[in-house]
Amino acid sequence: MRHFAQVAAVDDAIMSFSKGYDTIVGERGVTLSGGQKQRVAIARMLMQRSPIMIFDDSLSAVDSETDAKIRSALKENTSGSTVILVSHRITTLMNADVIMVLEDGQISEIGTHKELLEIENGIYRRIYDIQSSLETELLDLKKNSSIGGDN
């Protein structure tokens, strides 16, 4: 059990509870943050060792660094399973074998990250550009605020 919690990057949070893995978290996990709930759900899914695993926006409440850590660990711990990731975050999807873009309930684009970026005026490309520019703006804000805070 603990191995799967480590893969889902929730072990440290569990160990910080006064009773560790024996902590009662309450109905529907009321004492857990949104990100912790998602990571516990990931660990529970991994414990089942299902041949098909579907993660429906299960990394949306975690930061980008934790997202990358979990995706890397998932790749190492899901061999022999088909993993379907549903996400709005391009960085969550960009290393997938196949990416399907849905528009109005229909598949509008399909391919690898590289192939989808090459589609001129494609939805995936537009989302990628928006998310990339937002990420750049956030980095600039952090950089400027840390510079201003040193004065």
Question: Tens digit of pLDDT for each residue in 14-65?
Answer: 899 888 888 887 766 667 887 888 888 888 888 888 899 888 887 777 777 8
Q: Are residues 89 and 106 in the same domain?
A: no
Q: Are residues 116 and 56 in the same domain?
A: no
Give 119's DSSP letter: S
Q: Are residues 92 and 25 in the same domain?
A: yes
Q: Strands 82-86 and 99-103: what pairing?
A: unpaired
Q: Are residues 23 and 80 in the same domain?
A: yes
Q: Are residues 36 and 69 in the same domain?
A: yes
CATH number of the domain to which 12 belongs:
3.40.50.300
Q: Are 21 and 43 in contact (CB under 8 A)?
A: no
Range of the structural domain that residue 109 is part of? 101-151
Q: Are residues 72 and 7 in the same domain?
A: yes
Q: Are residues 107 and 131 in the same domain?
A: yes
Residue where a domain stops, chosen among 52, 75, 96: 96
Region 81-88: mean pLDDT is: 89
Q: Are residues 108 and 89 in the same domain?
A: no
Q: Are residues 105 and 92 in the same domain?
A: no
- How confident is residue 151, by pLDDT bands cut at 50, 70 and 90? very low
Q: How far apart are CA 5 and CA 7, in angstroms?
A: 5
Closest of 131, 130, 96 to residue 111, by C-alpha: 96
Question: Tens digit of pLDDT for each residue in 119-131?
Answer: 989 999 999 999 8
